[in-house]
Chain A
């Protein structure tokens, strides 16, 4: 247990000590080697890198250099990432065997290891993080501490204003003042639907009950989305602190974090954070001597996308099958074990402390009229800078894909971006300049979702993409209500037939009709949004559906049954390269003969297309 004074002095001292993390001109002789320990970098051996650094430093007896674990820096495509502060040198794609050289050259000799310096898309060598285009248009609020502090050290969190918001709330504000501040900020739920957070808090407070709960939804299930995980891995205390603030505001003293068991690193860091917070008296009884009690428990999910739906999540916390409940009543009235329950997702919570500290007025200057603040996206797919980005609401898709994401690799063309995962939709080229906020995305048939943003180039078949999402929904449907349980399966079957060239135009009509019906009659958000990928692809890429149905053709050559790869005789120079690479020997012709593809043998793998130096092969 620490007294308030002790916390204050930790903050002061530690902040001074860590100035080099955020100030390139910090007055210090120390150096910090930051090694990203997000899941992405961890899976490319960053723990080994960390260990090597420590070992070498010890062997060389080097002092004043500390090696620090941090959360995700965001630019996962360049991982594993190592940053040396205060000079802010950015080493990318570091391998464990590079550590020796980095220590010797950078630390000992004071020079930079040129070959490991990060290069931007244009090939320009980047000296520091801020120079990267990737970071230029970003604004970090939720990710403020990610990549800056050691998430396993509560004192580092405290150093950067940690638990100061809680202190202010508990000591200086009333419940209503806190709620008003959140309302005024315009913060909306970052889990997908965008319900105003302050209003949710107010509603939950309004129901009288001896026992209420705060639940953090960390069951991030969108395939290809890892925003929440990165926050938990990089800055777990910011979520704990916000949950406590929410608990105070609504009158709850117990919180649950429902997190996927598939996120072992996040779980581990959360456990450490909870333990440390309890030790420092920042969680538990009589926090800051104000009489406010609050404790948090972790509940592990066990692999069910539907548990991201708030009522299914509650069922799962109660130890049951994650089947959604019918609303109303909403959790604010009757949630966990029938008690009023506030459920917010990780990213929503990650904004709270900043709103309290910097004020609603500051927060509401960021973003668009109805969507305030920033949004974190997991940018992936056919884009150069795959990674985690946080941008002000209202940033256009073009800015994200081209300025931050560095455009489409391999010289291919942008075809569509998918937001909102299995609940969202595809955004075609003509809407690249749509500002990203809740309403605009909805207007063009997609949705914000939790923040997955997948970019697709012109080699992607939209029918096949719709099929992919429906496969996901079908396997993740809980099976409770008829439209979702059987309806999505029937949609998938139609899509499969389309991809196999066995469907006709009437099937496309039926698909659309069914989609609309499922959307309207399903119980929960999963079912209601399951048809979205189909509806939106139909909206923008109907031609492709018709081609599959009528001409039995897949222009992207992704659907094998309806793809036909042919060699343009005009362009073929009979080099034979395609023949050599074809894995099934489907290409016929000898010597100077123009090559031909035996359609019976061809498996449409596309190897020949990529191989042909004369671009003679295509559909």
Chain B
């Protein structure tokens, strides 16, 4: 079908765009950036903030450019004195009710409001007045809500409700009293929040951020009695560089390792190796369950946001979850057992720090199940952003760092471990191992293209040893819900399901560098970061987890075999039904 083109004029430029394009998009095509604040492409297109207003000839009021579609012959002006004045007043009003403690704000320098205030030269607040006051919610181990900085753009609400299908937060009250809140203003800890942290990614200001724990890391690093080990998730290396001005998706693995060593960590390990362990255990578990037709479909369990979601919303389906811990938890457990024994270090003196692209990992770390011999598998989880801050605080010139490699003996990882960071990656890695396990051969088939890509739900049928295995990889909790509903209604015939809470997988996690609305509408951030992971995989000499020599050795020396008693004790866990709303009614 041929698409109809519409011709219009924006700031004197005549352009042709597809019918159905918004004025904002059309302007972008003409090289004109209309300022926005509440706009978040495909997620929040509501026109609330009024920053994107423009003049359309022959129209009485302003047009809302982020929503209004172009019309043939439309003449648009994006910066007339009227428009500029109106935008300045709007900005002034927003700032008049915004706690302006920029100097002490985690988002300073990466705040969309700050950028606009600079652009429009708001030097003083013309209309000062009463300001909203909100209690800061920092009860949860993962997310802090400081709605004194909220500008009511509702990007977080749209993300939580429409993208993730959760609705932990919503707009309450009305008029000047409006604010974003949970039910009854209870802590996020006590409501149906899964700690996916996508709201943080959506927030243009500092109203939502992770509960930072980097200061404890500094303390431990300076403590001579503590042996501080750090591990980094697959997704960190393809995003950390962005915090230092590098291109999106740049792989900075080797610089990152150098930086971590400079920070003073005693050992720098790769969670990708942990991911290989997860695959060993999970593929093994799957093969057994598949053969026994026991609790199929089996669902992955490496995403803590997803685990919290199913615990709260579909407890009856918990038996379908793999009992495997997530990679960094497995790895933490091994560091404090196998590695400690091998290196003869008192496990209670070891402090394991996980650098994660994830907010929910902060919650996962604290789960009581994640302990062995009274010690937590992992002692601290920091995000990619927190790591970047540490590097900056340590006065390290990141770009100029030389390269290093992960420490032995737990530094060697496979390409399979690397792709854990993207949606479909766990599935692909597991299939590589499962097919070899089921056939008893070393098969050439490595790539499973069907589960790659950015789609929210990717279904595939894989033929292994003459058997058809139906698999699905879903990312984003709203998509997860669709799959769970299918299972609940008996419509699902899958055997293996991968689910990641964040749309696109861990590379798009809540703890990753925050990209502005503008960048998100212009660049496919997910694709760039994912491509970088697949490149790592392609270049790896070993691309199947079960062929990782580190694993082979540890299984041989210590764990015996996947699913052994010791493997279960260290690498597996269990789940519990959780109330969605945990407060007195």
Contacts and interface: CB of A to CB of B under 8 A. Distances in A.
A479 B175 contact: yes
Contact of B93 (A475, A476, A483): A483
B126 interface: yes
A514 B129 CA distance: 14
Given A489-B175, A493-B129, A481 B49 contact: yes
Contacts of A528: 61
A619 to B, nearest CB: 30
B177 A486 contact: no
B175 A478 contact: yes
Interface string A473-495: 01111111111111111100100
Contact of B178 (A476, A479, A487, A517): A479
A479 B86 contact: no
Contact of B176 (A306, A483, A486): A486
A484 to B, nearest CB: 8
Interface string B343-380: 00000000000000000000000000000000000000
B178 A510 contact: no
B176 A489 contact: yes
B542 interface: no
A326 B176 contact: no
Given A486-B97, A521-B62, A479 B68 contact: no
B46 interface: yes
A514 B89 contact: yes
B276 to A, nearest CB: 48
A513 B62 CA distance: 17
B152 interface: yes
Interface in B51-94: 53, 61-62, 64, 67-68, 82, 85-86, 89-90, 93-94
Given A490-B93, A493-B129, A479 B61 contact: no
Contacts of A490: 93, 96, 127, 129
A514 B152 CA distance: 20
Contact of A489 (B68, B94, B130): B130
Residue from the set A474, A490, A521 with the largest chain B CB neighbour count within 10 Å: A521
B93 A487 contact: yes
A481 B48 contact: yes
A478 B176 CA distance: 8
Contacts of A55: none
B50 A482 contact: yes
Contacts of A487: 89, 93, 127
Nearest to B98: A486
A513 B82 CA distance: 12
A304 B68 CA distance: 27
A10 interface: no
Given A326-B46, A483-B50, A514-B89, A478 B129 contact: no
B304 interface: no
Question: In which size bucket is the chain A interface?
Answer: 20 to 34
A485 B50 CA distance: 12
A328 interface: yes
A480 B86 contact: no
Contacts of B48: 480-482, 523
A326 B129 contact: no
Contacts of B176: 474, 477, 479, 485-486, 488-489
Interface in B29-59: 46-50, 53
Contact of B94 (A328, A482, A513, A520): A482
Contacts of B130: 489, 493
Interface in A443-490: 474-490
Contacts of B152: 479, 482, 485
A321 interface: yes
Contacts of A485: 152, 175-176, 178
Residue from the set B68, B93, B126 with the largest chain A CB neighbour count within 10 Å: B93
Contact of A521 (B53, B94, B96, B175): B53
Interface string A488-524: 1110010000000000000000100110010011110
A105 B126 CA distance: 71
Contact of A482 (B93, B173, B175): B93
Contact of B126 (A304, A483, A510, A521): A510
Contacts of A306: 174
Contacts of A480: 46, 48, 178
A453 to B, nearest CB: 26
B16 to A, nearest CB: 22
A521 B174 contact: no
B171 interface: yes
Nearest to B82: A520
A521 B86 contact: yes
Contacts of B127: 487, 490, 510, 514
Contacts of B89: 483, 487, 513-514, 517, 521
B62 A486 contact: no
A521 B50 contact: yes
Contacts of B67: 326
A487 B171 CA distance: 19
A477 B174 contact: yes
Residue from the set B94, B171, B176 with the largest chain A CB neighbour count within 10 Å: B176
Closest 5 CB pairs of A and B: A479-B178, A477-B175, A486-B93, A489-B176, A517-B89
Given A482-B48, A523-B48, 8 more contacts: A479-B176, A483-B93, A488-B176, A489-B176, A513-B89, A520-B62, A521-B50, A523-B50
7 contacts: A326-B68, A479-B152, A481-B49, A490-B93, A517-B86, A520-B62, A522-B50
